[in-house]
């Protein structure tokens, strides 16, 4: 029981840190919809009740960087604006599945045609589900509640800030917490490494197994696309990869509870059944045609270890190791975003306690008359600029997340020295800490070169592949605690790294 408890704590903590950036974006988008676009503007943005509603929903969803947790506050505002359930669910599924950073990563690391097929198949499922939902459950929207116009100037900024804080502590927080509980339950019941053989290419049950696990899990778009790319590179089941992307990234327990709460149990069961059935059917349909040629199928994968308990039975120092694992799993921007999210959440909780009737917003909405010299921008223009800024920020984030090749190589040189020293000193935990980071830098090397219109040559790609293979061998040796195997693998890794660095040329 102690191992199960601390394993759940680790996975919930890691999920909390991972969702920090996209939760912030979700709260901001919801606040912009409420205070700048308003009910009518939000209704028109998503195509209203016209034939354009579903295409516009998934097109906007593909541009906004939110996850399956950050999207819940946005869905709440969409429903208050009178949009149909089909449109809301189409956006709710598409927004977590795709964003500019994750799609770029997938196109670079996997077969571009396969990623294109994944996108088309997913959007087909989302559109078909939205259409069937609106046909089976007509008039599934509510009449929009009127909102007063937001004043200009500082009051407008204050109204958006207050709305963002209150969005963080409203009823959508319950669904976020429920999704995290699902992550903890999954970690508590799955022993370490139990999913390592769950996605083998020759396993006919791989898509079904992945469907059972993915719905309980919380997967960010970037993590999902990395796992999909890893499954392509290791010759795992492509059908299982597709099911993981659709059900793991697009759905969680919180989202299912939100649908059931607002639309009823029967519509929830119909929607969840159709979604699961279509995703599994599509997975089996594309499995064989998209299986990569010339790739030796691996007999196991570590891609899904993050859903299992990280501790073996009988492990000691669980509290200290849990804290270390949570902090080590987070990137610096995750920590900063999570701290900001915590501050906003505390502010939202305080506002709801001291001002339950939202008198502050009422005062802010009583704006002063504009002066003759003032240039007044309509709220819709400001909202459109803010949403466009989010899209441009995500594109700019690509260049921050994937620095130039020269900078990546410097990082890899330093990390390689750490790994080599650890392998010869039998520091197994150090190896297990640095190898995933080095693998991540190797992935970024490919993406960075492609982004800057200088893709790696075939020779350079072969050298990168050989280096990544040597890293995997060293990781297996560290898991086995085999001293001689680790030293042999480290020498192989050092030679492969030297060959890769020489192929890249001078900085």
Contact 245, 121 (CB under 8 A): no
Distances (CA, A) of 244 to 45, 213, 214, 231, 247: 30, 8, 6, 11, 6
Closest C-alpha among 9, 345, 297 to residue 170:
345
From the CB of residue 461, how many other CB atoms can be counted at a distance below 10 Å?
A: 16
Q: Is the predicted pLDDT of residue 50 greater than 80, yes or no?
A: yes
Tokens 């059931």, residue? 260
> What was the pLDDT predicted at 199?
76
Q: What would the two tokens of residue 303 be?
A: 């891609």
Cα–chain center distance at 492: 34
CA distance 67 to 218: 9
pLDDT band at 299 (very low <50, low <70, confident <90, very high): low
> What was the pLDDT predicted at 120?
85
Cα–chain center distance at 348: 24
Tokens 């205070």, residue? 35
The per-residue b/e assignment along 121-154, b for 16 or more CB within 10 angstroms, e otherwise, is bbbebbbebbeebbeebeebbeebeeeeebbbee
Look at the alpha carbons of 293, 295, 296, 299 in this order and tell me if their dihedral is positive or negative.
negative
pLDDT band at 104 (very low <50, low <70, confident <90, very high): low
Domain definitions of the chain by residue range: 13-190+247-283+332-365+376-399, 403-504
Q: Is the predicted pLDDT of residue 507 greater than 60, yes or no?
A: no
From the CB of residue 372, how many other CB atoms can be counted at a distance below 10 Å?
A: 4
Q: What is the Cα Rg of the chain in Å? A: 24
Look at the alpha carbons of 88, 116, 124, 227 in this order and tell me if their dihedral is positive or negative.
negative
Residue range 428-436: average pLDDT?
82
> What was the pLDDT predicted at 80?
92
Residues 6+ apart with CB under 8 A from 7: 187, 188, 308, 309, 310, 311
> What was the pLDDT predicted at 74?
93
Query: Which DSSP symbol is given to 249?
Result: I
Distances (CA, A) of 12 to 20, 222, 366: 12, 18, 42
Residue range 234-246: average pLDDT?
83
CA distance 18 to 219: 9
- 361-415 per-position pLDDT tens digit: 888 887 656 656 656 777 777 777 877 777 777 677 677 777 888 888 888 988 8
CA distance 507 to 500: 13
Q: What would the two tokens of residue 84 be?
A: 């149909």
- 140-188 per-position pLDDT tens digit: 888 888 888 787 778 888 889 999 999 998 888 899 899 999 899 988 8
Closest C-alpha among 233, 365, 244, 250 to residue 291:
233
Contact 87, 140 (CB under 8 A): no
Residue range 479-500: average pLDDT?
87
Residue range 4-12: average pLDDT?
89
Directed axis angle between helix 2-32 and helix 379-401, to 10°?
Answer: 140
CA distance 83 to 399: 35
CA distance 259 to 178: 13
Run of H or E residues at 397: helix 379-401
Residue range 86-115: average pLDDT?
76
CA distance 209 to 248: 12
The arrangement of secondary structure in 403-504, i.e. its CATH architecture, is: Up-down Bundle (1.20)
The alpha-helical segments, DSSP class H, found in 330-374 are 332-354, 359-365
CA distance 479 to 459: 31
Average pLDDT, the chain: 84
Q: Is the predicted pLDDT of residue 316 greater than 60, yes or no?
A: yes
Give the largest Cα separation in the chain, rounded: 81
The alpha-helical segments, DSSP class H, found in 98-203 are 100-109, 112-136, 154-168, 172-189
């Amino acid at each position: 029981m102690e191992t199960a408890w601390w394993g759940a704590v680790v996975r919930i903590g890691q999920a909390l840190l991972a969702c920090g950036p996209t939760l912030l974006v979700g709260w901001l988008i919801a606040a912009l919809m409420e205070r700048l676009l308003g009910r009518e503007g939000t209704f028109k943005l998503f195509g209203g009740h016209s034939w354009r509603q579903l295409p516009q929903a998934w097109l906007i969803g593909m541009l906004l960087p939110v996850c399956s947790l950050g999207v819940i506050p946005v869905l709440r505002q969409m429903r208050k604006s009178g949009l149909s359930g089909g449109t809301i669910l189409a956006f709710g599924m598409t927004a977590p599945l795709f964003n500019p950073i994750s799609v770029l990563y997938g196109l670079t690391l996997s077969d571009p045609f396969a990623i294109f097929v994944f996108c088309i198949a997913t959007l087909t499922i989302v559109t078909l589900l939205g259409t069937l939902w609106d046909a089976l459950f007509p008039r599934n929207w509510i009449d929009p509640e009127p909102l007063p116009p937001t004043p200009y100037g500082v009051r407008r900024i204050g109204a958006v800030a207050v709305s963002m804080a209150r969005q963080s502590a409203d009823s959508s927080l319950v669904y976020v917490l429920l999704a995290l509980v699902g992550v903890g339950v999954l970690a508590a019941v799955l022993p370490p490494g139990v999913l390592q053989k769950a996605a083998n290419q020759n396993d006919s049950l791989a898509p079904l197994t992945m469907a059972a696990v993915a719905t309980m899990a919380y997967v960010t778009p970037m993590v999902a696309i990395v796992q999909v790319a890893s499954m392509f590179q290791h010759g795992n089941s492509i059908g299982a990869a597709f099911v993981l992307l659709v059900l793991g990234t697009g759905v969680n327990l919180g989202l299912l509870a939100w649908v059931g709460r607002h639309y009823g149990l029967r519509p929830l069961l119909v929607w969840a059944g159709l979604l699961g059935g279509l995703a599994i059917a599509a997975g089996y349909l594309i499995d064989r045609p998209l299986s990569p040629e010339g790739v030796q199928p691996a007999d196991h994968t570590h891609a899904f270890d993050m859903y299992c308990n990280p501790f073996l039975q009988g492990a000691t120092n669980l509290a200290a190791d849990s804290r270390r694992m949570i902090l080590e799993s987070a990137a610096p921007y995750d920590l900063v975003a999570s701290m900001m999210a915590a501050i906003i959440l505390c502010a939202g909780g305080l506002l709801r306690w001291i001002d339950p009737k939202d008198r502050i917003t009422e005062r802010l909405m009583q704006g002063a008359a504009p002066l003759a010299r003032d240039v007044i921008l309509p709220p819709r223009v400001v909202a459109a600029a803010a949403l466009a800024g989010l899209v441009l920020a995500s594109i700019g984030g690509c260049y921050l997340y994937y620095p130039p090749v020269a900078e990546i190589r410097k990082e890899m040189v330093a990390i390689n020295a750490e790994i080599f020293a650890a392998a010869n000193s039998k520091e197994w935990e150090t190896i297990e800490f640095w190898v995933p980071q080095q693998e991540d830098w190797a992935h970024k090397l490919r993406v960075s070169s492609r982004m800057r219109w200088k893709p790696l040559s075939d020779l350079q790609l072969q050298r990168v592949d050989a280096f990544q293979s040597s890293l995997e061998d060293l990781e297996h040796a560290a898991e086995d605690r085999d001293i001689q195997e680790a030293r042999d693998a480290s020498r192989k890794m050092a030679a492969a790294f030297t060959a890769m660095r020489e192929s890249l040329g001078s900085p």
